[in-house]
Amino acid sequence: MDPDVLKIAQIAGIFAAALGSLAVIMIIMATVSRVIKRKVPDTAERPKAMDDQRMLRLEQAVDSIAVEVERISESQRFISKLLADRSQEAAKIAR
């Protein structure tokens, strides 16, 4: 057999194997995708009451976080005022 024909046949075989492997991989990915879509419910299928409850809990959580942040900022202002007063008194004593 001619060596050039043999090389072309080998290249064709490798190409066919690569395409076959690609096809098998695509089929497996499509199957996995379908299985995952069946197991994960769409957001449209959830009841509206569940979404409303989640939104209410989220609003309450944001409100409580806002209150805590306000407390932290009040504490920071108070400490800053104390430190400023303390440094002014220390400056008066040092004179």
**Per-residue pLDDT tens digits for 12-36:** 999 999 999 999 999 999 999 988 8
pLDDT of residue 1: 72
Q: What CA–CA distances, in Å, run from 15 to 23, 28, 29, 88?
A: 12, 20, 21, 84
Which tops the pLDDT comparison, 39 or 34?
34
Q: Where do the structural domains in the chain lie, given as residue ranges?
A: 1-40, 43-95
E strand or H helix at 65 = helix 48-94
Handedness of CA 24, 29, 34, 35 (dihedral sign): positive
**Per-residue pLDDT tens digits for 57-82:** 999 999 999 999 999 999 999 999 99
pTM exceeds cut of 0.85: no
